[in-house]
Amino acid sequence: MTQSSRSTDSHHVQAYSRDRGDFMYNRAGPWPQPAPDHPMAMAAEVLHPTRDEKRDWSRHAGRNYIKTMLMSIPRAAYNAVTRGRVEDISDEVFTELLTTTIYSKYLRRIDLGQLDPMFSEALGAIGGAACYYTTDFTPIQDIEPYEGMWVAPTITLFTRDEEDGPCRALAIRIGHLVVEDGKRKWKHIVVSPRDVEAWTLAKYFVLQGAGHVTTLAGHPATHFPFDSVNAVTTSAVPMDHTLFKLLFPHLRLALAVNHAVLEGGNSVVSETHGEIYAPYCAPGLRVRVLVAAGYVGYPHELCTYDPSPTPGPAYPRWEYPLVPRALDIPSDFGRVLRAYHETIKAFVREVVDDILERKETRKGREEIYYIKRWAHYIAHWLPGFPDADEILEPAETGDTLVAALTAYIWDVSVAHSLDHRSFYLLHPRRTPFRIRVPPPKTHRIAAVPRRRILGGWDLFKSTLAFDMFFQPHNVALLKDVDYGFESDRLQKAAEVFRKALVDTERRLSAEVDVTKYIPLAEIATSIQY
């Protein structure tokens, strides 16, 4: 932004100052800075949430973890001593989990020409179906597990005979570590249902990869990058600004929650003392390598295996989602996300229209000025976020601002809440975070008893993690959101928005079973857990 444009933008702008209390934290609030762990591979962090935000988190969220842990210990103990421990996952259940739940975020449609030749070599001629998909959980290969535990990179091939029909699992490409020329390398085989025991075991490794990648790479991308928007809004936008009022209900608790997750020594992704609720197959510092995969893509230059400066198509580099990739998820999970995105966007359009229609007034010029400064600050920290000279383009409609605001509100409310609820419904008996037998190295292996796959202590820890961290614990709900707008027009727009949310759920209910995904009554306004 040039000096001349700054002078023009600030013409007739009110001289806001900290001593008047115009800003939430008197312009001394939280601010993004490089992530301490991997400043080039992780989103900017807000390392210093305010005392008020930490207190709010402790009162309404922090205590809930302790309460939930104490109440869940009996159920965790029961799971730990139950025979079999993990469920016998049929092909039908396996396919449903990978193609209809939160895991369908990784379902990528492919042309047969893009398919790994290993599948064709193993299956013979492939063709004739309406469409083909893969789910790729290769990033787990970079985790160095605890002694006596194993991980394996997998790619699963699915087919659909009809565009909207059910999927069917065809084969799994699975890796195992070998030593060649003094170096450890992954060697792969392709197994299919005809390789009965190898296929059965491979399915558990797919679900292990899905659980790790989803909770440590995919879901964190709904959390941490958006802290920059949160911090800049609370610190650099006046509280009477329409932009501030629009975003404020969607900011609460997020900075403190994310700080506790990333920097708390006892959190589920940074535990260092073997906490009884840490379910993963490796300590915190080891599993956190997957967080980078969700931000800089995969593979990346820090990878142990297959390092590359260019991420592949399955895990592209994160950019601010003006058009979220999640809207293209080919499942009912994606349908829910699309429906609410449209509803939120229509409401945001009303708010932006109001701002633009007043842009020639004194108050309007002030609002435009602070919108541009807001965008300029955020763009410095978030790749893909429009800068000051882009945020209001095109000038007549402000479509870019609409997209940026919609993306934030939709992510921290609908996308984040849906992720948690969908994953929680998978329950720990279908999610073997830890596997205590090696992956299949050949197509013919002996049957592996399910009680050997997952230990009782492993399931105890996983049960607590599901209840404490993956289960939603809502504090404020989207359906009750109050923006505190002053104008009659915007108050009316907010009322219409709340009604539109109800209508959206009603329309969805005619197409999908919303109880399998998320009822409106369980969508939070912000990242609260």
Reduced 3-state DSSP string for 213-274: HHHHHHCHHHHHHHHHHHHHHHHHCCCCCHHHHHHHHHCCCHHHHHHHHHHCCCCCCCCCCC
Mention every residue, 6+ apart, whose C-beta is less than 8 A from residue 332: 100, 511, 512, 513, 516, 517
As for how many domains the chain has, the answer is 1
| Residue 9 is assigned to a structural domain of this protein | no
| Residue 304 is assigned to a structural domain of this protein | yes
| Residue 305 is assigned to a structural domain of this protein | yes
CA angle 414, 417, 418 (to 5 degrees): 80
384: domain CATH number is: 1.20.245.10
Q: 364 by DSSP, 3-state: which? A: helix
* Per-residue pLDDT tens over the stretch 101-110: 999 999 999 9
| Residue 7 is assigned to a structural domain of this protein | no
- Token duo for residue 14: 């009110």
Confidence at 1, pLDDT banded by 50, 70, 90 = very low
Confidence at 485, pLDDT banded by 50, 70, 90 = very high
- Token duo for residue 224: 């941490």
Which residue, 64, 67, 30, 36, is CA-closest to 49?
30
Q: What is the pLDDT of residue 177?
A: 96
Confidence at 266, pLDDT banded by 50, 70, 90 = confident
Confidence at 247, pLDDT banded by 50, 70, 90 = very high
| Residue 443 is assigned to a structural domain of this protein | no
Q: What is the pLDDT of residue 38?
A: 85
Confidence at 16, pLDDT banded by 50, 70, 90 = low
Q: What is the pLDDT of residue 178?
A: 96
* Per-residue pLDDT tens over the stretch 417-464: 999 999 999 999 999 999 999 999 999 999 999 999 999 999 999 999
Burial 323-337 (b: 16+ CB within 10 A, else e): ebebeebbbbbbbbb
CB-facing half-sphere around the CA of 79: CA atoms within 13 A? 26
Asked if pLDDT for residue 89 goes beyond 50, the answer is yes
Confidence at 143, pLDDT banded by 50, 70, 90 = very high
| Residue 29 is assigned to a structural domain of this protein | no
Domain that holds residue 357: 47-436+458-522
| Residue 120 is assigned to a structural domain of this protein | yes
Mention every residue, 6+ apart, whose C-beta is less than 8 A from residue 329: 104, 105, 107, 337
SS (H, E, C) 509-520: HCCCCHHHCCCH
* Per-residue pLDDT tens over the stretch 267-318: 888 767 778 999 999 998 899 999 999 999 999 998 999 999 999 999 999 9
Distance CA 288, CA 511 (A): 38
Q: What is the pLDDT of residue 6?
A: 40
Taking the CB of residue 498, how many other CB atoms lie within 10 A of it? 14
Asked if pLDDT for residue 4 goes beyond 80, the answer is no
Q: What is the pLDDT of residue 13?
A: 58
| Residue 36 is assigned to a structural domain of this protein | no
Average pLDDT over residues 351-374: 96
